[in-house]
Structure 1
C-alpha cells in the first residue's frame, strides 16, 4: 500500500523531510493522523484475532 498509492508516497515524503513536504503542498495535519489511525486500527484488529485464537478472553 505504501509504495503503490498516493497516500503511501505522502507518508514516505513526510518521514523524509516534513518541511519539503509542506512546501510541496501536502497537508501535514491530515496524513500523519490517517497513518496513525490506520496503524492503531489494524493493531486492534490483530490483537483481537490473536486473543480469540488463544482463547484468552473470558
Structure 2
C-alpha cells in the first residue's frame, strides 16, 4: 500500500476514536444527576437509621 493510503486510514480511525470518546463522555455526563440522587438517597437512609436506632447507654 502507498504511504498516503495508510495516513488516510490513520486519520479516519483517529476521527472515529474521537467520536467514540465524545459519545462516551456525553453518556457519562448524562448519568451524573442519577449518581448525585443515589448518593443523596443513601445519605438520607443513613441519617434515618442513625435517628431510629437507640442511643447506647453510657456506664458511669
Please identify which structure carries the higher helix content.
Answer: 2
Q: TM-score by structure 2 length?
A: 0.46
Greater relative contact order (CA < 8 Å, ≥ 6 in sequence):
1
Q: TM-score by structure 1 length?
A: 0.48
Larger Rg belongs to? 2
